[in-house]
Amino acid sequence: MSAAARRHRPFGHWSPESGQPWVIAGPCSAESLDQVLETARALKADGRTQLFRAGVWKPRTRPGAFEGAGYNALEWLQIMRAEVGLPFVVEVGNPQHVERALAAGADAVWIGARTTVNPFYVQEIAEALKGSAVPVLVKNPIHADVGLWLGALERLDKMGLSDLAAVHRGFFATHPEPYRNDPRWELSFELRRLAPDLPIFCDPSHIAGQRDLVESVAQIAMDLALDGLMIEIHPQPDDALSDAAQQLTPERFSSLLDRLAGYIESADPVALALSLSTDREALDQIDAQFVDLIQQRQVIVERLAHRKLQQGASVFQMDRWVDMLEQREAQAQQQGLDPKYVKAFFELVHRYSVQHQAAIYQAQRRDEA
């Protein structure tokens, strides 16, 4: 399937106009019938939302926080669909949720990040959904593990649930600034490589964590050719019972969609490839030189490892590491490069260097034993 065909592959029973991204929108949590109806009417009037999202059961880290309105919320969503005409999707975290959601006629369900991380939970949900035709969205697990993400989708597929999509909502990081969750966009690329026909949506609300950043994340998702967006909307975001900081008003949501540049596509892929060929060949040459330099560096690293071992020194030398990192960051600054990018590059290089030296230490000690 071509990239263009994959991008507009129907999901569920809703098909946006060609060239337009999927839009799933609604409040983090369904808090009252009035709140659900007010939000849905605004989204319906805007005309660009295919699927209304609302949390019914909310997994909270600590007890005492708002955990959703439960069965009442399902009733509100049924009323909303009847009065406003938007199909709705809810999160399910266990077989009981699935049973209730299906009984309420949910148009789709999603599996949240805290659930995707546990194969036991996903398997129970997949078995509870077996035999239904309900579409299922799967958010990435909290931790950066594409295998878990893909595995969750495969468990659903094995139960005969073929109407699937993934949702990229970012990953836990100790310091993900400026975002709430680290986007790690490369992991969505890897999922697309492993499952090329799978629609992948972006949840910029959970990546951003702040409403002022939602639009920029949404635009990045479009620039990366993700298939659509899942955005949290609330009539009075500051008063929301959950995730108040990241929800948009309906008006701000409409403005975001107005400014959003859609997919960037080439009308002539052959002409595009020809226009980029010279620069791509130059990059290929540089990348080949990178590999040669890495090999040369590894020879020196191995030599250092043997010398340090002979002198009874540890693999890791803190003073040397700090000094080297400061030099490279200063060099990056002088050459107009992002010091964070250069730092991350050398952290990766150094990590493998330390691992390789440690392996040499272990091998030589085994030989001497």
Contact call for residues 348 and 328 (beta carbons, < 8 A): no
Helix 269-310 vs helix 339-368: crossing angle, to nearest 10: 50
Pick from 226, 259, 292: which residue ends a domain? 259
In this structure, the answer to whether residues 241 and 286 fall within a common structural domain is no
Between CA 323 and CA 304 the distance in angstroms is: 17
In this structure, the answer to whether residues 187 and 290 fall within a common structural domain is no
Mean pLDDT (whole number) for 67-75: 89
Mean pLDDT (whole number) for 53-75: 86
Burial label for 38, CB within 10 Å (0-12, 13-18, 19+), is middle
In this structure, the answer to whether residues 141 and 19 fall within a common structural domain is yes
Close Cβ partners of 189 (under 8 Å, ≥ 6 residues apart): 224
What is the per-residue pLDDT for 7?
41
What is the per-residue pLDDT for 353?
93
In this structure, the answer to whether residues 328 and 181 fall within a common structural domain is no
Close Cβ partners of 220 (under 8 Å, ≥ 6 residues apart): 183, 185
What is the per-residue pLDDT for 156?
96
Close Cβ partners of 239 (under 8 Å, ≥ 6 residues apart): none
Confidence of residue 3 (pLDDT cuts 50, 70, 90): very low
Confidence of residue 233 (pLDDT cuts 50, 70, 90): very high
CATH of the domain at 95: 3.20.20.70
Pick from 259, 286, 315: which residue ends a domain? 259
**Is pLDDT above 70 for 265?**
no
Q: What is the CA radius of gyration of the chain?
A: 25
In this structure, the answer to whether residues 232 and 293 fall within a common structural domain is no
**Is pLDDT above 60 for 8?**
no
Mean pLDDT (whole number) for 329-358: 93
Q: Measured at the alpha carbon of residue 308, what is the angle toward residues 305 and 313, in degrees to the nearest 5?
A: 130
Contact call for residues 160 and 128 (beta carbons, < 8 A): no
With respect to residue 152, please indicate whether it lies within any of the assigned structural domains: yes
Query: Cα–Cα distances in Å, from 85 out to 70, 201, 286?
Result: 21, 23, 55
In this structure, the answer to whether residues 51 and 139 fall within a common structural domain is yes
In this structure, the answer to whether residues 172 and 303 fall within a common structural domain is no
Helix (H) or strand (E) holding 103: helix 95-103
Contact call for residues 92 and 125 (beta carbons, < 8 A): yes
What is the number of structural domains in the chain?
2
What is the per-residue pLDDT for 19?
62
Q: Which amino acid is present at 40?
A: A
Pick from 213, 236, 259: which residue ends a domain? 259
In this structure, the answer to whether residues 274 and 254 fall within a common structural domain is no
Range(s) of the domain holding residue 157: 3-259
Residue pLDDT, tens place only, 14-56: 766 656 788 999 999 999 999 999 999 999 999 999 999 999 9
Mean pLDDT (whole number) for 228-254: 96
Contact call for residues 202 and 187 (beta carbons, < 8 A): no
Contact call for residues 168 and 202 (beta carbons, < 8 A): yes
Contact call for residues 228 and 187 (beta carbons, < 8 A): no
With respect to residue 264, please indicate whether it lies within any of the assigned structural domains: no
DSSP single-letter state for residue 98: H
In this structure, the answer to whether residues 135 and 223 fall within a common structural domain is yes
